[in-house]
């Protein structure tokens, strides 16, 4: 699934690892493809939507990690 509006380019999904455990993940990046932020949640708590939790973590981390100027670039 694409990330919700306002979070920029990226997607979220769920997959199984080699041990058969469910992993929810989000990949999001800057429009210039200079930075990538990934969030992975392995086997979330019962009754919780781990993909929604991963998207929420991404939403909170994005301003700190993706929107801040690059230390070796302009800004």
Question: What confidence tens digit (pLDDT) does each residue in 30-67 have?
Answer: 999 999 999 999 977 788 999 999 999 999 999 999 98
Residue 24 DSSP SS3: strand
pLDDT tops 60 at residue 2: yes
pLDDT band at 75 (very low <50, low <70, confident <90, very high): very low
**Cα(11)–Cα(28) distance, integer angstroms:** 6
CB 24 within 8 A of CB 54: yes
Q: pTM of the predicted model, to two decimals?
A: 0.83
């Amino acid at each position: 699934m694409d990330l919700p509006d306002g979070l920029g380019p990226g997607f979220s999904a769920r997959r199984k690892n080699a041990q058969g455990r469910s992993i929810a993940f989000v990949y999001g990046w800057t429009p210039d493809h200079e930075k990538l932020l990934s969030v992975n949640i392995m086997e979330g708590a019962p009754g919780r939507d781990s993909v929604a939790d991963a998207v929420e973590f991404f939403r909170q981390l994005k301003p700190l990690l993706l929107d801040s100027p690059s230390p070796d670039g302009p800004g």
